Amino acid sequence: MSASEIEPAAPAESAAAANAHPSSANPAAVDADRRLHPMSWLFVLIQQLRQFIVPLLALLFFGRGDRNELWSLIGVGVLVLVSLWRYFTYRYGIGGDSVVVRSGLLNRSLRVIPFVRIQNVALHQNVLHRLFGVAEVRLESAGSKEAEAHMRVLKLDDALALESLVRRRGAGAAETVEERADILLRLSTAEVLRLGLVSNGGLVLVGAGLAALSQMVPDVNGRIPERVLRQGLRWVSGHVDVHHFDTAGYALLAIGVIGATAVALKTLSIMLALLRYHGFELSEQGRRLTAERGLLGRWRTTVPRRRIQAWTLEEGLMHRLLGRRRLAVDTVGADEGDEGRALKDLAPIATPATCDALVEHLLPRAHWDRLQWRALPGATWWRLFLPDVPWTVLATFALHWHVGAWGLLALLWLPWTAFKARRRAQRIGYAYSEDLIAVREGWWHRYWRFAELDKLQALQIKRSPIDRRCGTATLWLDTAGAGTLAPPLRIRFLPEADARRIYDTLAATLSKRPLRW
């Protein structure tokens, strides 16, 4: 096994791949064996040692923590030897129609990866990569969340050459004329700053950091929060007593603290947006899309357009205030845990006109701007209002039990919930044509979700007890690559007759068309 961390194929799989592509598996038909960058063992070693960073910091700053977690540092020397062993026993070559990977010394393995199977080439550079002029490369295939090959690391020129080779030979041709790359979208620094304003990256980062710290440092769950809270309250109480605040003063102080916290979190979100999306550029070359981004570290992801399964347009309240939207996509085999692997954002932030132009350019047959949207009956608003009623009643009862009559003020949440449900019901709609199915929902946070009919994998009609009572149904539409955080592709509260009519129409259309990846 090499320092590239390439998962070895099973013997049967390797033999089958070699038989399917004899010219590629034959050493005579493959270019001279190549190695990774001479310093690749160092990057593998650093990756292995990252798990020790948090215990070391906890021991350094808090003087506590579980020292048993550091005993494994004795194996650092062993890791160095293993990393060097992997480097010297790793080879890869380029055949006429595939990439051939050889690894191992005592237990040797051969992996043949046809170019036509490679759907995505992801390049990643952190600061250390850029200093050495290297890049981490992933070769991915459709229908799999594991990389076909994960190379740590290649020279940057070799990584770019491999990406170009996959793009040119991915269609199965031995040689293809290199096409010019067209820039579809480029974000300025001002746009990236706006992206930081509309995102909640700072809040997510702080929450994740506190969760990780609570797991690694025992005192975070015990004495540290109590001590910090006690000292903080004592400090605040001392300063407040000096100024003799009245009720209005306390209210202003609370507003000031909340405002300062919000400003700090937004500042952190802006910094994260600059680190992740500085220099964002979306380009098109032939039938492939390439996105490149990052300030200190750089991510470069190339994916065929046919791999895109579903599309999402989103806009929150801050988006609307700034006149912006987000255009995201689902791709086959995307892994939500590694944001650098998959192409998820075609436009992290852009004007509505720019987003619509991108959709029209990449889906010309869909006629996005000419879709006929159908609204649901206005009486469906109570279906959105109903789930909030029992929770509001329970909260009111609990508050009344603890604070008395003042707890009944929680019932004022019901008029707001009813108003919100009415506005959401007015926004729900759907549209479909010969090539596209689309849904829209949301009021405070709006989204449009759509997919080509050829990309649908399953249709399903679901009816809850309330649906059966009201004569309605929900039509679920399934595509490959849908993320757990992506809005669902569904049409809710449809009259049963309409749901079955749309189901029959879509089913008849899908039966005449092959599924496209």
Q: Is the bond leading into 153 cis (omega within 30 degrees of zero)?
A: yes
- Asked if residue 446 and residue 309 are part of one domain, the reply reads yes
SS3 readout for 317-384 = HHHHHHCCEEEEEEECCCCCCCCCCCCCEEEEEECHHHHHHHHHHHCHHHCHHHCCCEECCHHHHHHH
**Which conformational region is residue 168 in: left (phi greater than 0), alpha (psi within -120 to 50 degrees), or beta?**
alpha
**362 pLDDT more than 80:** yes
Cα(317)–Cα(417) distance, rounded to whole angstroms? 17
Q: Which residues of 327-347 are buried (b: 16+ CB within 10 A; e: fewer)?
A: bbbbbbbbbeeeebbbbbbbb
| Nearest alpha carbon to residue 369 among 348, 352, 388, 347 | 352
From 245, 276, 307, the end of a domain falls on 276
pLDDT computed for residue 24 by the predictor: 40
- Asked if residue 319 and residue 362 are part of one domain, the reply reads yes
Q: Which residues touch 82 (CB under 8 Å, ≥6 apart)? A: none
**213 pLDDT more than 80:** no
Cα(127)–Cα(102) distance, rounded to whole angstroms? 29
pLDDT computed for residue 197 by the predictor: 93
Task: For residue 352, give both structure tokens.
Answer: 């509505």
**Which conformational region is residue 20 in: left (phi greater than 0), alpha (psi within -120 to 50 degrees), or beta?**
alpha
- Asked if residue 440 and residue 411 are part of one domain, the reply reads no
pLDDT computed for residue 234 by the predictor: 65
Cβ neighbours of 135 (radius 10 Å): 27
- Asked if residue 416 and residue 362 are part of one domain, the reply reads no
**119 Cα distance to chain centroid:** 18
- Asked if residue 290 and residue 250 are part of one domain, the reply reads no
Cα(468)–Cα(116) distance, rounded to whole angstroms? 48
Cα(262)–Cα(254) distance, rounded to whole angstroms? 12
Mean pLDDT (whole number) for 305-313: 90
From 217, 241, 276, the end of a domain falls on 276
Contact 517, 307 (CB under 8 A): yes
Q: Per the structure, how many domains does the chain have?
A: 4
**66 pLDDT more than 60:** no
Mean pLDDT (whole number) for 443-466: 92
Cα(428)–Cα(447) distance, rounded to whole angstroms? 10
Confidence tier at 20 by pLDDT (50, 70, 90): very low
Q: Decide if 287 is inside a domain.
A: yes
**40 pLDDT more than 90:** no
Contact 226, 296 (CB under 8 A): no
Contact 341, 358 (CB under 8 A): no
Q: What is the pLDDT of residues 447-457, one digit of tens each?
A: 999 999 988 88
Q: Decide if 4 is inside a domain.
A: no
Q: Looking up tokens 């994260």, which residue turns up?
A: 272
Q: Which has more pLDDT, 203 or 462?
A: 462
Contact 273, 193 (CB under 8 A): yes
Q: Decide if 83 is inside a domain.
A: yes
**276 pLDDT more than 70:** yes
Q: Decide if 210 is inside a domain.
A: yes
**32 pLDDT more than 60:** no
The DSSP symbol for 163 reads H
- Asked if residue 475 and residue 364 are part of one domain, the reply reads yes
Mean pLDDT score across all residues of the chain:
79
- Asked if residue 481 and residue 358 are part of one domain, the reply reads yes
- Asked if residue 435 and residue 288 are part of one domain, the reply reads yes
pLDDT computed for residue 4 by the predictor: 36
pTM: 0.78
Confidence tier at 73 by pLDDT (50, 70, 90): low
Range of the domain at 214: 201-276
pLDDT computed for residue 14 by the predictor: 39
**244 pLDDT more than 70:** no
Q: Which has more pLDDT, 389 or 210?
A: 389
**267 pLDDT more than 60:** yes
According to DSSP H, which parts of 217-309 are helical? 223-243, 247-277
Task: For residue 159, give both structure tokens.
Answer: 């990584």
pLDDT computed for residue 239 by the predictor: 61
- Asked if residue 210 and residue 68 are part of one domain, the reply reads no
- Asked if residue 233 and residue 115 are part of one domain, the reply reads no
Contact 325, 352 (CB under 8 A): yes
Q: Decide if 2 is inside a domain.
A: no
pLDDT computed for residue 76 by the predictor: 63
Q: Decide if 189 is inside a domain.
A: no
Q: Which has more pLDDT, 53 or 336?
A: 53
Q: Decide if 468 is inside a domain.
A: yes
From 218, 242, 276, the end of a domain falls on 276
- Asked if residue 445 and residue 314 are part of one domain, the reply reads yes
- Asked if residue 241 and residue 101 are part of one domain, the reply reads no
Q: Decide if 193 is inside a domain.
A: no
**430 Cα distance to chain centroid:** 25
Rg of the chain over Cα atoms, rounded to whole angstroms, equals 28
